[in-house]
Amino acid sequence: MAEMKSLFSEARLADLHQDVVRNIVSLRQSQDLFDDLTADPADWHLAQKVEDEVKPPPYRSHRPIIDRPFEDAEWFNAIVWPFKYWQASRFSDGSFGVWYGAESVETTVYESAYHWYRRLLSDAGYDRQVVIAERQVCTVACSAALLDFRGAAALHPDLLNPSHYTFCQSVGAKIQREGHPGLLTQSVRRPSCVNVVIFNANVLSNPRHNCQLTYRLEDDQIVVEKNPGVAWITLDVASFA
């Protein structure tokens, strides 16, 4: 394909060694997954112990004595999840996993709010009701030489197509097939900012909690809160068209 060849000939290499952020679904207050099985807290602890003993950890610390016991969960949620549970997205047809992050928390809000509204709410018929979602932003270290497509977007508008991913999925398939660790591109929802797209989990490390967010859809707006009850970012859903 001529357009694909042209795009890759215009790509630059960006040697990225910095923290990036990922926005994922997460409750502000954790819930006990076994409380619907029994009312006895002792049984909850026993069930959790059994699960911990039989479930292999996704990540083993090199410093098990000093690292905290919830490190496995942090690592899995912030890094491993999309590489274990594949789904179709901008740069994947669903046959392999892709990790999406950004250079700023605000950019992740614009991106995730769009997908939350369009894919989970509008399609399900909830777009006229008050709906609340809770999310966590994780800071993750990224160290990789990434293909930089930011300068090529003007000549290849399909790279930033807001709703049709055919070209981008072809780009992603080529990157994944050739073994490149990932790419940099402009944010579709916030074009002045940068998204980080990773195809190899090994270039990501050191996940940390950044902040907790609440998304509230009401009256054609999504209000995003860092502190409960205090609006931080307000997005009009009309802009998602």
* Residues shown for the chain: 241
Residue 227 predicted with pLDDT over 60: yes
Residue 80 predicted with pLDDT over 80: yes
Alpha carbon of residue 86 to chain centroid: 12
Residue 43 predicted with pLDDT over 60: no
Which of 5-14, 70-79, 179-188, 217-226 comes out lowest in average pLDDT? 70-79
Mean per-residue pLDDT for 216-228? 92
β-bridge pairing 204-218 and 194-198: unpaired
- For the stretch 123-162, pLDDT in tens is 666 656 788 999 999 999 999 999 999 999 889 999 999 9
pLDDT for 128 equals: 63
Cβ atoms < 10 Å from Cβ of 31:
8
Give me the residues paired with residue 215 across strands: 133, 224
SS (H, E, C) the chain: CHHHHHHHHHCEEEEEEEEEEEEEECCCCCCCCCCCCCCCHHHHHHHHHHHHHHCCCCCCCCCCCCCCCCHHHHHHHHHHHHHHCCCCECCECCCCCCEEEECCHHHHHHHHHHHHHHHHHHCCCCCCCCEEEEEEEEEEEEEEEEEECHHHCCCCHHHHCCCCCHHHHHHHHHHHHHCCCEEEEECCCCCCCEEEEECCHHHEEEEEEEEEEEEEEECCEEEEECCCCCEEEEEEHHHHC
Determine the structural domain holding residue 93 and report its residue range. 2-240
Amino acid (one-letter) located at 133: A
Matching residue, tokens 């004595």: 65
Mean per-residue pLDDT for 192-212? 96
pLDDT for 67 equals: 45
Angle at 22 between CA 52 and CA 223, to 5 degrees: 110
Residue 60 predicted with pLDDT over 70: no
Claim: this prediction has a pTM higher than 0.85: no
The answer for residues whose C-beta is within 8 angstroms of residue 231's C-beta and 6 or more apart is: 223, 224, 225
Q: Work out how many domains the chain is built from and give that number.
A: 1
Whether residue 152 contacts residue 14, with contact meaning beta carbons closer than 8 Å, is answered with no
Q: How far apart are CA 60 and CA 62, in angstroms?
A: 7
Angle at 109 between CA 33 and CA 209, to 5 degrees: 50
- For the stretch 102-127, pLDDT in tens is 999 999 999 999 999 987 665 666 65
